[in-house]
Amino acid sequence: MDNKNSTNLPIVLAISGASGSIYGLRLLQFLLEHKYGVELVISNSAKRVMAQELSLSLSSNLNEVKKQLLSHLKLNISDEYFSVWDHKNIAASISSGSFKTRGMVIIPASMGTVGAIASGTSDNLITRAADVCLKERRKLVIVPREMPFNTIHLENLLKLSRVGAVIAPASPGYYSKPKTLTDSIDFVIGKVLDLFEIDHSLFKRWSKTSDIFSYAMSSPE
């Protein structure tokens, strides 16, 4: 019998071709640094975006991709709990509900991937793995990145929310007074980690003792 509880299970991390691939890589870095198992899928469009935004040209060889990512993220770790899957490999373990995971996060999520999941096409590994999470009632966190949204985007996101996905837009808060781009990115990553109940200190939390709270309480209307 499998006695693993869900907190020991890997997280499926998908990076699709929306702008903001740095969010996906920062989450990958945090999870691997803290020894969480990761099943990673990167769409072909995401590779295109990474080349544009991060000057990172990923190989078509999956072992090479793993090495490139560990090097890019300056991670010197054992990669036994880190798998990279081909976007087209619909026979990968994560395309079956019998392979247990803690859930899935798509970060950043393109409107194309959101639309495909909402219509249930399951035509690549990201859309199939998301479909599996929904049917198995596992956590599916979608971090959309588009601006502005059209009505089709909004309807697709609403549909996914109604069937149990959590829609967590890449929109950092400012009450924690971010000073750098990294602070803003970490705010979004911290909110995603909260959804998986993973402890972190990536942003300052709102509390009665924090200076941001005191300021708000003493400000004139």
Ligand X SMILES: Cc1cc2nc3c(=O)[nH]c(=O)nc-3n(C[C@H](O)[C@H](O)[C@H](O)COP(=O)(O)O)c2cc1C
State the residues that interact with ligand X by CB under 6 A.
16-19, 43, 45-46, 48-49, 52, 110-113, 145-146
Residue nearest to ligand X (CB): 17
Q: Between 16 and 95, whose beta carbon lies closer to ligand X?
A: 16
CB contact at 8 A, 139 and 133: yes
- Interacting residues of 156 by C-beta distance below 8 A, sequence separation 6+: 111, 114, 115, 117, 118, 119
Q: Between 11 and 109, whose beta carbon lies closer to ligand X?
A: 109
Residue 16 Cβ, how far from ligand X at the closest point, in Å? Answer: 4
Chain-centre distance for alpha carbon 42: 11
Q: Is 16 exposed, middle or buried (0-12, 13-18, 19+ CB in 10 A)?
A: buried
Longest CA span, the chain: 61
Residue 31 Cβ, how far from ligand X at the closest point, in Å? Answer: 20
Q: Between 6 and 119, whose beta carbon lies closer to ligand X?
A: 119
CB contact at 8 A, 87 and 130: no
Half-sphere exposure of 193 (CA within 13 A, CB side): 23
Q: Between 18 and 133, whose beta carbon lies closer to ligand X?
A: 18
Residue 7 Cβ, how far from ligand X at the closest point, in Å? Answer: 29
Residue 146 Cβ, how far from ligand X at the closest point, in Å? Answer: 4
Residue 113 Cβ, how far from ligand X at the closest point, in Å? Answer: 4
Q: Which of 60, 2, 54, 61 is nearest to 28 (CA)?
A: 54
Q: Between 110 and 184, whose beta carbon lies closer to ligand X?
A: 110
Residue 175 Cβ, how far from ligand X at the closest point, in Å? Answer: 25
Q: Between 19 and 68, whose beta carbon lies closer to ligand X?
A: 19
Q: Kindly list the strands in the beta sheet with 140-144, ordered across the sheet, starting from the edge strand earlier in the chain.
A: 82-85, 38-42, 11-15, 103-109, 140-144, 166-167
